Amino acid sequence: MALLPILHFPDPRLRTKAKPILEVTDQIRTLAADMLETMYAAPGVGLAATQVNQHIELIVIDVSETKDQPMVFINAKITPLTEELVPYEEGCLSVPEYTDSVNRPARIRIEALDLDGKAVKIDADGLLAVCIQHEMDHLSGKLFVDYLSPLKRQRIKDKLVKREREKVRVR
Instruction: Quote the mean pLDDT of the chain.
Output: 96
Convert the pLDDT of each residue in 32-46 to its tens digit.
999 999 999 999 999
Q: Which CATH superfamily is domain 12-170 in?
A: Peptide deformylase (3.90.45.10)
> Sorting pLDDT into bands at 50, 70 and 90, what band is 169?
confident
> Sorting pLDDT into bands at 50, 70 and 90, what band is 167?
confident
Q: Tell the burial category of 8 from Cβ atoms under 10 Å away from its Cβ (0-12, 13-18, 19+).
A: middle
Active site residue 135: yes
- Residue 15's alpha-carbon distances to 8, 24, 139, 143, in angstroms, are 11, 24, 8, 8
Q: Could you state, in order of their start, the residue ranges of all structural domains in the chain?
A: 12-170
Out of 23, 65, 83, 135, which one is annotated catalytic? 135
Q: What percent of the chain has pLDDT over 70?
A: 99
Do the annotations mark residue 92 as ligand-binding? yes
> Sorting pLDDT into bands at 50, 70 and 90, what band is 171?
low
Q: Could you tell me where the DSSP H helices lie in the chain?
A: 26-41, 126-139, 150-170
